[in-house]
Each structure stands twice: as C-alpha cells, then as structure tokens.
Amino acid sequence: MEKRQLVQRIVDPHDRRQRQVQLTSSAQQLVPTVHAYIDSQEKRLTAAFSPAELATAARVLRYLEEDN
C-alpha cells in the first residue's frame, strides 16, 4: 500500500521505534468507494441466509470472541 502511495509511515518524534500509518490524500478519496463496495458485498452475502441463520452465525461469532 505504501508503494501504491495509499499509506505513509510517520516516525513518532518522541519514540523513534514507533511508527504511525496514515492514509494519504489519494487514499482518503477512495474511502467512499471502498465503503460502498464493502456494503454491497455484505448485502450480497447476507441475502443468501435467513434472518434466523444470520442470528445464529452472529451468536457463534460472539461466543468465539468472548471465550477465546
């Protein structure tokens, strides 16, 4: 992503071992497009399942997150 000039690394002025990663201005312009793509993919995925199946999947994921 750095080679494609979508992110830039910034050295922390107080601790040179740490780096911050920030989106570049060209990447910021892509944010709405990326959000729209993610939303459309989520709708496409969830359309294949019933609300009960989605609720079960969400419950399984919560269980895995909490207990592991």
- Buried b vs exposed e over 18-53: b needs ≥16 C-beta within 10 Å? eeeeeeeeebeeeeeeeeeeeeeeeeeeeeeeeeee
pTM value is: 0.64
Hunting for tokens 């000039």 — which residue is that?
A: 5
- Tens of each residue's pLDDT in the chain, 68 residues: 889 989 999 998 888 899 999 999 999 999 999 999 999 999 999 999 999 999 999 999 999 999 76
Hunting for tokens 């920030």 — which residue is that?
A: 22
Hunting for tokens 């909490």 — which residue is that?
A: 66
Q: Under a CB-based contact definition with an 8 Å cutoff, are residues 44 and 36 in contact?
A: no
Torsion (CA) 26, 32, 37, 40 in degrees, nearest 10: 180
